[in-house]
Amino acid sequence: MSKESMGVKLAAARAAHGLSLQEVAARAGCSSGYVHKLEADLVRTPSPRVLAGLADALGVSYADLMTAAGYDAVASGPDASPRVPGATKRYSNAHIVELLEQLQRDVDLLKSTLAR
């Protein structure tokens, strides 16, 4: 396995596709400044959602990006799913907060119903 940093992998993939920071950012759903920071290895723990977007935008392995970013190895090989986990791509942090708030409201409603 290569010991290239995540930033080096991202920059090399972007250069190989001839894409600008802005193009990669638009495809990945983040800002060009954030992509620049990632390429410069200035971000310690990018979110799996951002890494999923970058993997799709650059045509690189999600598992390789996750490993390079310091996350536990993601399953790979013939029996592993080649796609990014659906929930990782589908939900933003803001959406997760909304879901958690709705869950809390549901729990509160259930508690008040049971207390009657």
pLDDT in tens, the chain (116 residues): 457 899 999 999 999 999 999 999 999 989 999 999 999 999 988 988 899 999 999 999 988 898 888 887 655 554 444 445 554 555 555 566 667 788 888 999 999 999 88
Domain ranges of the chain: 6-84, 91-116
Contact call for residues 58 and 26 (beta carbons, < 8 A): no
Burial class (CB in 10 A: 0-12, 13-18, 19+), 43: middle
The superfamily in CATH containing domain 6-84 is lambda repressor-like DNA-binding domains (1.10.260.40)
Query: What is the C-alpha separation between 58 and 55, in angstroms, rounded?
Result: 5
DSSP 3-state of 61: coil
Closest CA relative to residue 66, chosen from 42, 49, 90: 49
DSSP 3-state of 39: helix
- pTM of the prediction? 0.63
Confidence (pLDDT) at 45: 86
Q: How many CB atoms lie within 10 A of CB 72?
A: 6
